[in-house]
Amino acid sequence: MKLRWLLTIMCLVISLIPIAMIIGFEGLEIVTVFLGLILVITLTVAFVISYIISMPLVKLTKNIDEISKGNLDVELEKSEIYEINNLMDSLDRVMASLKLAINKVGVRKEEIFQDAVKAKEEAEAKYEILLKKIDGWIWETDANGICTKCSSKISGTLGYTPKQIIGKEIVRFLKPEDVNKFKDIVYILSQQKTDSTNKLDLHWMYQDTSRPIWVRSFCIPMFDSIGTFQGLRCFSRDATEYQVAETKIEELEQRLSDTYKQLHTVLQRQSIGNPLIEPTITTVSEQEFDYMILFDEDAKIIDCTNDIQKKLGFTKEEMLTRTFADVVYLESYNDIKASLEDIKKQGSSQIKSIHKKKDGSSIFVSEHITYLKERNVFICMVKQDTM
């Protein structure tokens, strides 16, 4: 409320005192005769008093605005009110100290204020550009989980505008099953008293629908100088594609594990009841293999055991960039492709071969390659031969 209106209301309230007194002594009829006169006098006095008090404050506010823009030569007008004069004297001393400091530094005061304003504007512009370019949205909450800030990119994922989010509890926009999960995580972060980044995977609800969106958020808890929890600062984005990819990776890892188990079982049977496998496989199955390579029908390596580095010198990451033809020393890529077609028909193959090492040398090995028809991949178990 403005000071002028506040003073006017106060005067009107005070005027009710004599009115009440007159009613008590003379009755309501006398008061009715003088009521208009009393109100006119009260309003006149109220406006005069409010003008005398508020005008110096209005002028002082304008002067402070000019000072904030770099104008240190503002003339502060004296007031009839003692307290306001004291405030102006203090402001005069502040400006004098500021002028002295600027002169000692040797720069112009215009440069200080202009550079500060320019730096602030540039920082704000860069921040806005960042918010528009990043693939996600930024949001903050207070200690009670109320959203205090939210960027406009949220509309692209959840359909809400920032105004629909700010001022409301974040849990209102989460899938009911994830509400307690969010609260538990926030409680843990508030008690840890560290500002480390934490990953939150939660289902948010799309605007005005029951359709959940899987969202990945990276949140940093905020604390004040004495360690009191102030809320969260978070970056979020739609992680549905990540969820699908991670699920597929888990499925592939499980399939690969099942494949290894299946191959161990095949080798332990020592080719009983399978005339297509050479008898020499018995010597391999009775011993532990040195490494294993999994590759597709194009001979591209899609997985291998970590112990391959002990024999060939290549890391697992390096192997995944190669084909099986890059490992075999004497056969070309076309030769490998042709042999894979034969293995598809036979089911498996046991051969002697030479494998390349990272340092350029080679080792003699025994290969047992099995075609896994249901997955359309080949798995090769390798044992080094002693020559």
Quickly list H helices, 269-371: 281-285, 308-312, 316-319, 324-327, 333-346
- The least confident of 74-78, 289-293, 368-372 is 74-78
Mean pLDDT of the chain: 76
More confident residue, 362 or 34: 362
Residues 276 and 232 in one domain: no
Closest CA to 207 of 157, 146, 137: 157
Percent of the chain at pLDDT > 90 equals: 18
Q: Region 179-193: what's the mean pLDDT?
A: 89
Residues 290 and 363 in one domain: yes
Q: Specify if 159 maps to a domain.
A: yes
**What gap in Å lies between CA 322 and CA 300, rounded to an integer?**
6
Residues 337 and 234 in one domain: no
pLDDT at 300: 93
Residues 141 and 193 in one domain: yes
Bridge partner residues of 376 (DSSP): none
| pTM score, whole prediction | 0.39
pLDDT band at 284 (very low <50, low <70, confident <90, very high): very low
pLDDT band at 169 (very low <50, low <70, confident <90, very high): very high
pLDDT at 283: 37
pLDDT band at 285 (very low <50, low <70, confident <90, very high): very low
Residues 189 and 278 in one domain: no
Residue with tokens 């004495």: 226
Q: Which of 105, 121, 143 is the last residue of a domain?
A: 105
pLDDT at 40: 72
Residues 165 and 92 in one domain: no
Residues 310 and 377 in one domain: yes
Query: What confidence tens digit (pLDDT) does each residue in 91-103 have?
Result: 777 767 766 666 6
pLDDT at 318: 92
pLDDT at 120: 61
Q: What amino acid is encoded at 53 in this protein? A: I
pLDDT at 278: 38
Q: Specify if 113 maps to a domain.
A: no
pLDDT at 152: 85
Residues 218 and 278 in one domain: no
Residue with tokens 């980044």: 197
Query: What confidence tens digit (pLDDT) does each residue in 115-148 have?
Result: 556 666 665 565 555 555 566 888 999 999 999 9
pLDDT band at 299 (very low <50, low <70, confident <90, very high): very high
Q: Specify if 204 maps to a domain.
A: yes
Q: Which of 105, 126, 161 is the last residue of a domain?
A: 105
Exposure of 237 in the CB half-sphere (CA atoms within 13 A) = 10
pLDDT at 323: 92
pLDDT at 44: 76
Task: Specify burial of residue 382 (Cβ count, 10 A radius: 0-12, 13-18, 19+).
Answer: buried
Residues 182 and 282 in one domain: no
Q: How far is CA 294 from the centre of its chain?
A: 37
**Domain count for the chain:** 3
Q: Region 328-352: what's the mean pLDDT?
A: 88
**What gap in Å lies between CA 171 and CA 134, rounded to an integer?**
24
Q: Specify if 190 maps to a domain.
A: yes
More confident residue, 157 or 79: 157
Query: What confidence tens digit (pLDDT) does each residue in 19-59 have?
Result: 666 556 555 555 565 666 666 777 777 677 777 777 777 77
Total Cβ atoms within 10 A of residue 151: 20
Q: Which of 65, 89, 105 is the last residue of a domain?
A: 105
Q: Specify if 119 maps to a domain.
A: no
Q: Specify if 16 maps to a domain.
A: yes
Residues 218 and 272 in one domain: no
Domain interval for residue 230: 134-238
pLDDT band at 360 (very low <50, low <70, confident <90, very high): confident
Residue 176 sits in a domain of what CATH number?
Answer: 3.30.450.20
